[in-house]
Amino acid sequence: MLNILDHALLIISASDGVQSHTVTLWKLLRKLGIPSTIFINKTDLATADKSAALTDIKNRLSEACVDFDNIGSEEFFEECAMLDDTAAEEYLTDGKISDNTLAKAVSAGRIFPCLSGSALKMRGVDRLIEYIDKYILPPERADMFGARIYKISSDEKNRKLTHMKITGGRLQVRDSISYMGSDGRLHEEKISEIRFYTGEKFRSADTAQAGDVCAAAGLTASYAGEGLGYENDPAPPMLEPVMKYSVELPPEADIHKMFDALRQLTR
């Protein structure tokens, strides 16, 4: 679920340029209003052409995509000044644009920074990390509890886990949550466990704060895209399926076991 992102980092190959799925993803990010940064990867390859890739990005994604490898140059400041009024005022007055003004323009989605390097060979990665620390501003968080569910899974004991991004306030173990379930009925259930995952491993915690991404046990009728707390509206579907599937069971299949297995997909 893209709508849980504070900021998107889009990876584009310097050899392949913008692909059709990249354009689709970019349109979704723009529709959701998510600030975005582009990393032009694999610039170490003999077939790589960063200049051509950047031109492709500007033509197919947005003219507001700016080469931040060139930051500090007159060309860079002029390009940013054309995209943001505050940046233009600063540039005309001071001959440069402050980091804070650039960061605000990036967060507002008026400028889309582009950086380059090779992730495999760790080239440009340090510069990318410095950029993230300097130019990506944390969004404001509400004081009251809110969360957006982006995935449903099961743990090792086949308990339902609800993966969510806490958008405001905090969530604690034993908190009672009222929500409209996938069955169309109002549910009020208690959180029995909060987990923070790193790959397959996790640690349990008593509290999840605003900005955290966690998994919670205890909600039996939750579904992906649902909002909790003040985020009580379900996320509208951004894409429509273009394929249909049917299941044909062999004669020897246990229909009851298959029914239980298929029910997992509806969780």
CATH code, domain with 38: 3.40.50.300
Do 123 and 209 lie in one domain? The reply is no
Beta strand segments in the chain, E: 8-13, 36-41, 65-67, 112-116, 146-154, 160-168, 170-172, 176-180, 186-190, 193-198, 201-205, 207-209, 213-217, 227-229
Identify the domain containing residue 35 by its residue range: 2-135
d(CA 136, CA 115) in angstroms, rounded, equals 14
Do 12 and 26 lie in one domain? The reply is yes
Q: Other C-beta atoms within 10 Å of 182: how many?
A: 15
Signed CA dihedral, 120, 109, 197, 130: sign only: positive
The structure's pTM equals 0.83
- The pLDDT value recorded for residue 252 is 87
- The pLDDT value recorded for residue 226 is 92
Do 73 and 168 lie in one domain? The reply is no
| Nearest CA-CA partner of 221 in 174, 192, 184, 247 | 184
The region, left, alpha or beta by phi > 0 then psi within -120 to 50, assigned to residue 189 is beta
Q: Which of 135, 156, 180 is the last residue of a domain?
A: 135
pLDDT tens readout for residues 156-210:
888 999 999 999 999 999 999 999 998 889 999 999 999 999 998 999 999 999 9
With a cut of 50, which residues of the chain have pLDDT below it? none
| Nearest CA-CA partner of 106 in 133, 74, 125, 142 | 133
- The pLDDT value recorded for residue 115 is 97
Do 130 and 147 lie in one domain? The reply is no
Do 145 and 23 lie in one domain? The reply is no
Do 131 and 256 lie in one domain? The reply is no
- The pLDDT value recorded for residue 1 is 74
d(CA 51, CA 71) in angstroms, rounded, equals 16
Q: Which of 76, 109, 135 is the last residue of a domain?
A: 135
Is the Cβ–Cβ distance between 137 and 107 less than 8 Å? yes
Do 85 and 150 lie in one domain? The reply is no
- The pLDDT value recorded for residue 266 is 64
- The pLDDT value recorded for residue 233 is 79
Do 11 and 112 lie in one domain? The reply is yes
Give ∠ CA 140-141-145 in degrees, rounded to 5.
Answer: 165
Residues in the chain: 267
Angle separating helix axes 99-107 and 125-135, nearest 10 degrees: 90
Do 146 and 114 lie in one domain? The reply is no
Q: Which of 87, 113, 135 is the last residue of a domain?
A: 135
- The pLDDT value recorded for residue 148 is 95
> Maximum CA pair distance of the chain?
79
- Beta strands at 65-67 and 207-209: parallel, antiparallel or unpaired: unpaired
Going by the DSSP 8-state scheme, the letter that residue 172 receives in this structure is: E
Do 128 and 214 lie in one domain? The reply is no
Number of domains in the chain: 2
- The pLDDT value recorded for residue 205 is 97
